[in-house]
Amino acid sequence: MQGKFRDRVEYRLDREDRVSEHTTLPKADLGEASHIEVVEQLLQVDGQYLVDVGSGDGGFACALAERGANVLAIEPDKRRTPPELPSAIRDRVTFKLAGGEAIPLEDGKANGVFFNRSLHHVPPELMDQALSEARRVLTPDDGFLYVVEPDMSGTWSELLKPFHDETGVRRLAIEALDRTASRLFAGGHEYWYMLWVRFNDFEEFATRPMMARLRIPVEDVETPEVRSLFDAGKVPDGYAFSQVLRLRVYRGAA
């Protein structure tokens, strides 16, 4: 499976209609991995002060804290309530209601800022400001910006596209990185990886919390087109869909 994916990613990096046509960043394929496994592969977060922008349910922030980081997790949606933290990390995670365009932190405080599949959720007119905010709160010399954006390839994006098409906002997020992050940071690297989104049956997919949070009408999900796309993901132990992700890591002040 990893070999097939690697061929597909290399094709995506070379194709003429890729989202980011002007990036000169070096690229690498990391194969199949979870979000936190990629962090472990690329970074040492133990003892660092990190910002998780668009923290959602807090799972990623907690995973960083479990690996020794102190984390400021910010989320602009007041409906996303912070989780009950295990005692082992209770003192290492702080949740605040805020958006990436106004990070509630003093200048030069953070070792790293993460946008883990969240930059495209920032209003388009505020994406550049959010990236500038990340640069402001990072340590000047060695602070890093870590941005994961889902790519529209992969069967997971294909499954969602009929009722939740993010092609446009994801493109705007990459364009903001090309335009603003490249100007604010000394250098960067682009990585690609993939993971599997799994379900036992269609009902589990159709009733996942994301649907209610995005206010997607059930009739938009339960259509012949969506069911056909879902059935195409059949595997021996349920249903599985590939999510392809682009990661940009920027470091140092320009």
Q: What domains, with CATH codes, occur in the chain?
A: 2-14+28-152+165-194+246-253 (3.40.50.150)
| CB < 8 Å & 24+ apart, contacts of 79-82 | 79/213, 80/55, 80/56, 80/213, 82/58
The tens digit of pLDDT for each residue in 48-66 reads 999 999 999 999 999 999 9
pTM for the whole structure: 0.91
pLDDT at 239 over 50: yes
Residue 114 confidence (pLDDT): 98
DSSP states of the chain: -HHHHHHHHHHHHH-TT-S-SS----EEEEEE--HHHHHHHH---TT-EEEEES-TTSHHHHHHHHTT-EEEEEES-TTSPPPPPPTTTTTTEEEEE--GGG-SS-TT-BSEEEEES-GGGS-GGGHHHHHHHHHHHB-TTT-EEEEEEE-S-SHHHHHHTTT---HHHHHHHHHHIIIIIHHHEEEEEEEEEEEEEEESSHHHHHTSHHHHHTT--HHHHSSHHHHHHHHTTEETTEEEEEEEEEEEEEEEE-
Residue 4 confidence (pLDDT): 42
State percent of the chain over pLDDT 70: 91
The residue among 16, 5, 29 whose CA lies nearest residue 247 is 29
pLDDT at 20 over 80: no
Share the mean pLDDT of the chain.
91
147 φ/ψ sector (left φ>0, alpha ψ -120 to 50, else beta): beta
Instruction: Give the Cα separation of 234 and 7 in Å (integer).
Output: 22
Residue 22 confidence (pLDDT): 57
Instruction: Give the Cα separation of 54 and 169 in Å (integer).
Output: 15
Q: What angle do CA 123, 124, 128 make, to 5 degrees?
A: 105
The tens digit of pLDDT for each residue in 79-90 reads 888 888 999 999
